[in-house]
């Protein structure tokens, strides 16, 4: 499935009109670059040269980050020469953009923050707007949504103090609304995402800002695609495509064709999907976008596999893999190996399937950031060392005082001893609290490994049972509650779920909104995971049914639960940039999620893999083959009761 248009691309596009020369926004491609280069020698005043170099640097962000860096350094040297602080801030904005494109988000974050600090010193409006947008985008990339939201709102507030009728200000408002929308979209809060896209779209339409209109249409289409509203998704992708054809924006044309190809694939219209994926490859090749070409080849290869046109699938997927490696796109490389392993399995080439799956695991794990886990452990260990060292020094001091002080000072020593004892108890309690916090977010085995070695390695589990729950009528009911009521209701249910799974030794993985995810059989493998998870599911279902009965009698709001369960292999480990978490990955997780999606309210829906493990212990009803998104038809069963 395609990703939404990166906000960074959108921000770079809008920056072109901030130089004050409207021709920058009207000229296209190489013609604009030639014009800027010709204008540079004749430019009067160093500050004007800085702006021209700035515009040139932006031009190459799409095609050559090395060229962007060359111009950025020229810009920095000139800005330092005339001691023009806004120019130095612009330099950091460019370097942050380059690191963002390269995926080095920690460096991007550092550079973007430098730009913000300098821009705030200058107080220059456009410089501030540029730095705020760039920093907010980078914060979103590293998963620091709270900081990103803070600066997108700061950008909106800043625009409110400027001329809100100017094109420049309107473009920054579009940036801010789209940035907020993308964060909500990441969190699957589609209502808020659409609300912000519509706000951005309104401004972009009024300003005749085609880049913003296209971006909104594309990303709104992706929301509709994720919601299964495929007809609407295609309509919005087509609207975006028409704009990008009119403006000759090849990069985003390719995005649109790729998104339409993915949508047609979901609809089962494979001919249309292949047509659009091929068009994505063709257009991406005209602008030498290897990543875009790879996406098209990988999409087409997946469709060929579905059509059992295996030779064409192998050729297309290998082309996608090669281009992904040339582009250095780790996520695409991961996707290529995953799809090759599926193809190899379909053709019975088990040796190749194993090799490709191993590569898939390797590249997926390479995307996991363990740096923060190590830093956390180092900080914790340093804290404990410092405290122990402090206690040791106080105890040594106490011994010296005991030897040197007379009997008359024993009372003072006694009081001092109490202080030392209390300090030792404080340290012990602090360590205990630290351990408790660590255990609250990590399984005990993983936490112990982390404390002992400073790292926690990702692990393969050959068989675990994964459960997803979801509240069927959550969106509608949440509108009838205030924020505190909603949080209280969810907390009440999740607390009950936590108690239930604890009884069966099941590991809670995470909650996302009204979705609750847990798994049995890890971090310590066992043979009872399927029985444990299904038993817990029955208790959770019965708890929710009893709550419904009581609340209906009282005329109160109630939630209806859907539960999906699947058994299979997963990989588990610690991930995160700023806030780490224990998580699991693999097709097993995706299938379990589909089991929940295909469930009915008040029921427990399990896959055939889970059924085979529990059929002798639970009464189950065969549902037949049910269509699952992106997975074809799957045998499913309702669990009724324990035998």
pLDDT per position as a tens digit, 468-497: 998 877 767 777 777 777 777 888 888 899
- Please check whether residues 440 and 468 belong to one and the same domain: no
Number of domains within the chain = 3
Assign 608 a pLDDT band (cuts: 50, 70, 90): very high
In a domain? residue 305: no
- Please check whether residues 162 and 190 belong to one and the same domain: yes
Q: Give the pLDDT score at 400.
A: 57
- Given a cut of 80, whether residue 47 has pLDDT beyond it is no
221 sits in which H/E element: helix 210-226
- Please check whether residues 103 and 144 belong to one and the same domain: yes
Average of per-residue pLDDT across 226-240: 92
- Given a cut of 70, whether residue 8 has pLDDT beyond it is no
- Given a cut of 50, whether residue 621 has pLDDT beyond it is yes
CATH number at residue 50: 1.25.40.10
Report pLDDT digits (tens) over 570-586.
Answer: 888 776 545 566 788 88
- Given a cut of 80, whether residue 212 has pLDDT beyond it is yes
- Please check whether residues 393 and 504 belong to one and the same domain: no
- Please check whether residues 441 and 463 belong to one and the same domain: no
Q: Give the pLDDT score at 146.
A: 84
Interatomic CA distance for residues 337 and 176, integer angstroms: 36
User: Which residue, of 420, 450, 480, is where some domain finishes?
Assistant: 450
In a domain? residue 251: no
- Please check whether residues 64 and 138 belong to one and the same domain: yes
Average of per-residue pLDDT across 492-518: 87
In a domain? residue 167: yes
What six digits make up the tokens of 385?
């060392």
Q: What is the mean pLDDT of the chain?
A: 77
- Please check whether residues 437 and 531 belong to one and the same domain: no
The backbone torsions φ and ψ at residue 271, rounded to the nearest 5 degrees and listed phi first, read -60, -45
Report pLDDT digits (tens) over 349-384.
Answer: 888 888 888 888 877 765 544 333 334 333 443 444
- Please check whether residues 581 and 499 belong to one and the same domain: yes
Query: In terms of pLDDT, which residue wins out, 448 or 12?
Result: 448
Burial 157-195 (b: 16+ CB within 10 A, else e): ebbeebeeeeebbbbbbbbbbbbbbbbbbeeeebeebbe
In a domain? residue 262: no
Length of the chain: 643
Q: Give the pLDDT score at 315.
A: 95
User: Which residue, of 153, 186, 211, is where some domain finishes?
Assistant: 211
Q: Given the DSSP bridges, would you call strands 561-575 and 507-512 parallel, antiparallel or unpaired?
A: unpaired
Contacts 24+ apart (CB under 8 A), 392-397: 394/419, 394/420, 394/423, 395/420
Among the residue ranges 56-60, 123-127, 361-365, the one predicted with the least confidence is: 56-60
- Please check whether residues 399 and 548 belong to one and the same domain: no
**Spatial contact of 621 and 493, defined as CB atoms under 8 Å apart:** no
- Given a cut of 60, whether residue 540 has pLDDT beyond it is yes
Q: Given the DSSP bridges, would you call strands 604-607 and 632-642 parallel, antiparallel or unpaired?
A: antiparallel
**Spatial contact of 591 and 556, defined as CB atoms under 8 Å apart:** no
* Sheet strands (E) in 507-617: 507-512, 515-520, 561-575, 581-585, 604-607
- Given a cut of 50, whether residue 127 has pLDDT beyond it is yes
CATH number at residue 582: 3.30.70.1230
DSSP-assigned letter for residue 481? S
User: Which residue, of 422, 450, 478, is where some domain finishes?
Assistant: 450
**Those residues with Cβ within 8 angstroms of residue 296's Cβ, 6 or more apart along the chain or in another chain:** 254, 257, 258, 261, 277, 278, 279, 280, 281, 284, 320
Task: State the pTM of this model.
Answer: 0.52
- Please check whether residues 548 and 520 belong to one and the same domain: yes
In a domain? residue 473: yes
In a domain? residue 247: no
Enclosing domain of residue 484? 458-642
**Those residues with Cβ within 8 angstroms of residue 431's Cβ, 6 or more apart along the chain or in another chain:** 384, 387
- Please check whether residues 423 and 560 belong to one and the same domain: no
- Given a cut of 90, whether residue 604 has pLDDT beyond it is yes
In a domain? residue 249: no
Q: Give the pLDDT score at 534.
A: 94
- Given a cut of 90, whether residue 299 has pLDDT beyond it is yes
In a domain? residue 348: no
- Please check whether residues 116 and 172 belong to one and the same domain: yes
């Amino acid at each position: 499935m395609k990703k939404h248009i990166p906000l960074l691309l959108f921000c770079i596009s809008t920056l072109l009109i901030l130089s004050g020369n409207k021709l920058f926004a009207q000229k296209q491609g190489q013609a604009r670059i030639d014009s800027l280069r010709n204008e540079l020698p004749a430019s009067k005043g160093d500050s004007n040269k800085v702006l021209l170099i700035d515009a040139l640097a932006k031009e190459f962000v799409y095609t050559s980050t090395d060229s962007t860096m060359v111009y950025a350094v020229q810009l920095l040297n000139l800005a330092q020469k005339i001691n023009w602080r806004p120019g130095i801030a612009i330099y950091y904005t460019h370097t942050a953009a380059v690191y963002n494109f390269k995926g080095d988000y920690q460096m991007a974050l550092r550079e973007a923050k430098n730009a913000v600090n300098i821009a705030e010193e200058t107080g220059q409006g456009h410089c501030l707007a540029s730095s705020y947008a760039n920093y907010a985008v980078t914060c979103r990339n590293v998963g620091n949504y709270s900081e990103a939201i803070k600066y997108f709102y700061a950008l909106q507030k800043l625009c409110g103090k400027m001329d809100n009728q100017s094109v420049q200000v309107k473009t920054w408002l579009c940036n801010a609304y789209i940035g907020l929308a993308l964060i909500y979209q990441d969190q699957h809060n589609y209502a808020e995402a659409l609300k912000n896209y519509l706000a951005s779209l309104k401004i972009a339409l009024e300003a005749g800002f085609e880049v913003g209109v296209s971006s909104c249409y594309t990303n709104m289409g992706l929301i509709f695609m994720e919601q299964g509203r495929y007809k609407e998704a295609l309509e919005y992708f087509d609207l975006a495509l028409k704009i990008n054809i009119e403006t000759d924006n090849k990069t985003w044309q390719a995005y649109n064709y790729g998104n339409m190809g993915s949508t047609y694939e979901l609809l089962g219209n494979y001919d249309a999907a292949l047509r659009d994926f091929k068009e994505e490859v063709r257009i991406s090749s005209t602008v030498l976008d290897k990543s875009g070409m790879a996406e098209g080849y990988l999409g087409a290869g997946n469709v060929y596999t579905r059509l059992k046109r295996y030779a064409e699938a192998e050729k297309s997927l290998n082309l996608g893999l090669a281009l992904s490696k040339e582009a250095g796109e780790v996520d695409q490389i991961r996707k290529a190996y995953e799809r090759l392993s599926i193809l190899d399995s379909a053709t019975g080439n088990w040796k190749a399937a194993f090799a490709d799956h191993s590569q898939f695991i390797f590249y997926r794990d390479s995307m996991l950031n363990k740096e923060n886990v190590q830093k956390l452990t180092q900080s914790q260990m340093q804290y404990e060392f410092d405290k122990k060292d402090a206690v040791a020094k106080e105890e040594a001091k106490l011994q010296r005082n005991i030897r040197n002080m007379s009997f008359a000072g024993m009372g003072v020593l006694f009081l001092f001893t109490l202080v030392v004892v209390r300090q030792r108890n404080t340290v012990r309690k602090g360590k205990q609290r630290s351990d408790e916090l660590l255990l609250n977010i990590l399984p005990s085995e993983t936490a112990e490994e982390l404390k002992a070695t400073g790292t926690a390695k990702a692990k393969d589990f050959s068989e675990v049972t994964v459960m997803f729950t979801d509240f069927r009528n959550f969106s509608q009911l949440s509108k009838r509650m205030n924020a505190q009521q909603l949080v209280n209701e969810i907390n009440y249910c999740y607390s009950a779920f936590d108690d239930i799974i604890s009884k069966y030794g099941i590991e809670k993985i995470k909650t996302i909104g009204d979705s609750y995810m847990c798994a049995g059989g890890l971090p310590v493998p066992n043979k009872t995971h399927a029985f444990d998870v299904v038993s817990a599911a029955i208790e959770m279902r019965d708890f929710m049914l009893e709550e419904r009965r009581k609340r209906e009698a009282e005329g109160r709001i109630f939630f209806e639960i859907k539960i999906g369960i699947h058994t299979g292999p997963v990989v588990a480990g610690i991930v995160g940039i700023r806030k780490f978490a224990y998580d699991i990955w693999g097709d097993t997780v995706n299938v379990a999620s589909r089991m929940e999606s295909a469930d009915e309210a008040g029921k427990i829906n399990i896959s055939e893999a889970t059924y085979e493990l529990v059929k002798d212990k639970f009464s189950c009803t065969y549902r037949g083959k049910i269509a699952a998104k992106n997975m074809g038809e799957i045998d499913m069963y309702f669990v009724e009761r324990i035998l």
